[in-house]
Amino acid sequence: EVQLVESGGGLVKPGGSLRLSCAASGFTFSSYSMNWVRHTPGKGLEWVSCISSSSSYIYYAESVKGRFTVSRDNAKNSVYLQMNSLRAEDTAVYYCARLGGLGASAFDNWGQGTMVTVSS
Amino acid sequence: DIQMTQSPSSLSASVGDRVTITCQASQDISNSLNWYQQKPGKAPKLVIYDASNLETGVPSRFSGSGSGTVFTFTISSLQPKDIATYYCQQYDNLPYTFGQGTKLEIK
């Protein structure tokens, strides 16, 4: 059974930093691109970042470019999101999601999410 | 960026009703579209991929159609367990973008 478990969320002041982790199990982690997607009640779902299976390709949403850094450790079956210079508008539930499906083009498995709150 | 526009934003229907949600892309995305179901406090769940393919384990009352810029998502006979917010998402171009969501409620 595919499992994705996020951790590392919490309350942080504007301008602060946080590192999210996502531990994967139940599949060959090193064969899949992994993504971070966030959800807010007001804006819905927003894709944040994608990292390819071997870390060769990394992409970010414009809203986080230059502030967030995605990485992965295939030996530890984990993907990370380092978030710096946090803003109030980064407040959201953050999900890691596997890019899978027949064409490796759908978020076919998601973690349970971790809440990030940016507030003074 | 490709903008995805869903309609309606919310929908109230009765058990057994046929429900249809529309998603319009700001440019031609072929069939590069997925649909997700998100229940309150839960992670999204993939329902339809590549515009019209049912994800494994998803009931056959769910279906999707469309190509190019206009797509539809249909529940043929609404069940109480289908109450959720539904999102379309394009993967034709990065950044991946989602529609704003359609909140489905029971009348």
Stretch A29-35: mean pLDDT: 97
Q: Is the pLDDT of residue B43 over 90?
A: yes
Q: Which of residues 33-92 of A touch B (CB under 8 A)?
A: 35, 37, 39, 43-47, 50, 59, 61-62
* pLDDT, position A101: 79
Stretch B28-55: mean pLDDT: 97
Q: CB-based contact (8 Å) between A95 and chain B?
A: yes
Question: Quick check: B46 and A101 CB within 8 A?
Answer: yes
* pLDDT, position A104: 83
Instruction: Please provide the DSSP assignment of A84-112 as one string.
Output: -S--GGG-EEEEEEEEETTTT-EEEEE--
Selecting from A35, A45, A102 the residue whose C-beta is nearest the C-beta of B87 gives: A45
In 3D space, the residue among A120, A117, A88, A119 whose CA is nearest the CA of residue A8 turns out to be: A117
pLDDT in tens, B16-41: 999 999 999 999 999 999 999 999 99
Q: Is the pLDDT of residue A30 over 90?
A: yes
Dihedral sign for Cα atoms in the order B37, B88, A94, A106: positive
**Which residues lie across from B6 on neighbouring strands?**
B23
Q: Token pair of B24, please?
A: 């319009």
Question: Quick check: A112 and B97 CB within 8 A?
Answer: no
Given a contact cutoff of 8 angstroms between Cβ atoms, the answer to whether B104 and B82 are in contact is yes
**Which residues lie across from B90 on neighbouring strands?**
B33, B97
Confidence of residue A102 (pLDDT cuts 50, 70, 90): confident
Q: Which residues of B27-53 are buried (b: 16+ CB within 10 A; e: fewer)?
A: eebebbbbbbbbeeeebbbbbbbbbbb
Q: Using a pLDDT cut of 70, give the percent of chain A over it.
A: 100
Q: CB-based contact (8 Å) between A27 and chain B?
A: no
Question: Quick check: A47 and B95 CB within 8 A?
Answer: yes
Q: Using a pLDDT cut of 70, give the percent of chain B over it.
A: 100
Dihedral sign for Cα atoms in the order B86, B45, A70, A92: positive
Question: Quick check: B95 and A102 CB within 8 A?
Answer: no
Picking from A1, A38, A45 by the largest number of B CB atoms within 10 A of its own CB, the best residue to mutate is A45
Selecting from A61, A62, A108 the residue whose C-beta is nearest the C-beta of B46 gives: A108
